[in-house]
Amino acid sequence: MASDPPQTPVPPRKSRLRWWIVLFLCLGAVVYFGGDAVVAYTDDAYVQSDFVAIAPEVDGVVQSVSVTDNQSVKVGDRLLQLDPESYRLALALKQDQVTAAVADVDEKTGAAAVTVSQIDSANAALQLAQQEYNRIKPLVSDQALSQEELNRATDVLRRAQDQLAEARTQADVARRQVDLAKTAVEAARAEQAIAAYALSRTEINAPVNGYVTNLTLRPGVYARVGAPLIGIVDDSRFRVIANFKENVAASLTPGKTVWIWLDSHPWRLFPGRVESVGRGISRNDTPGLLLPYVTPTTNWIRLLRRLPVTIVFDPPVPPSDLYMGADARVLIIR
């Protein structure tokens, strides 16, 4: 009976190499297909803040610019001054109109007081005429006086009644004129306040703490209402926007600890925490939409969507070390 040929033993080195290859392949598969369950990482992240575009509320020529490019400013610091002369003249005109309106009220109030005195006089005359009529009427009935005397008393009484009615009508007209004059004063004072407000808006001050960015404004430029002139990066709202794959972003909760790498500060990790997860993204890159558009990533054939995650530095990083729009990378240990 023929014996089997002797098998050549596998060298120990080749055997170990095969095991290492299998192990690395398994680890690679775990990392590729399920690595997000252990560690989540994205380099699709950037530093963000609020950018405040400063636009004037009134038109005018820029008289002076009080800041320089990249300057740090505080709330209330003057940024620029528009030429205020036309607004000063407008305010002076409104002040004169208020003065004239107040004088008109005084004049009409005096006229109304005269009509009141006329009512008192007419009322007194009516009482006398009524008394005379009441005295003559029974005497005429007793034939002590003639009918002509009664007719004259009746005419006097009617004239007194008419004069009182006319005086009351004039008093009503005078009161309405006073009311209209007072309304005119209120309107003039409102226009004066508007003119004063417009004058105050010729000086534009910083509404937030931050940094003036990309300043090209110079004196002589004509500023229009609503057209931005100066931009400020708010230094109190620095954060990181990290776009994570949907399965990762959906599993994150506020307060989760993360680690941030800033390309502006390489080889240094900043601690942070998840503040919130975006609840929606746009499916197309049409400009002007309120929802953010995040470019999907290719994974085999299907494009994986990403959701924006807002991350804040914890503890806060000095604003002078942060730059809006700078690249960042975020690592999360799950």
What are the structure tokens assigned to 49, written together?
């803040």
Per-residue pLDDT averaged across 138-156, rounded? 72
pLDDT per residue as tens digits for the range 33-89:
555 567 889 999 999 999 999 999 999 999 999 999 999 999 999 999 999 999 999
Say how far apart CA 97 and CA 101 lie, in whole Å: 6
More confidently predicted of 144 and 261: 261
Residue 1: pLDDT above 80?
Answer: no
Rounded to the nearest integer, the mean pLDDT of the chain is: 85
Say how far apart CA 150 and CA 180 lie, in whole Å: 45
pLDDT per residue as tens digits for the range 87-117:
999 999 999 999 999 999 999 888 888 888 8
Residue 273: pLDDT above 90?
Answer: yes
Read out DSSP for 61-92? EEEEE---TT-EE-TT-EEEEE--HHHHHHHH
Say how far apart CA 207 and CA 79 lie, in whole Å: 10
290 Cβ partners below 8 Å, 6+ apart? none
Residue 276: pLDDT above 70?
Answer: yes
Q: Which region among 7-21, 42-56, 116-130, 275-289 has the lowest average model confidence (pLDDT)?
A: 7-21
Confidence band for 134, pLDDT divided at 50, 70 and 90: confident
Residue 321: pLDDT above 80?
Answer: yes
Of the candidates 91, 293, 85, the one whose C-alpha atom is nearest the C-alpha of residue 202 is 85
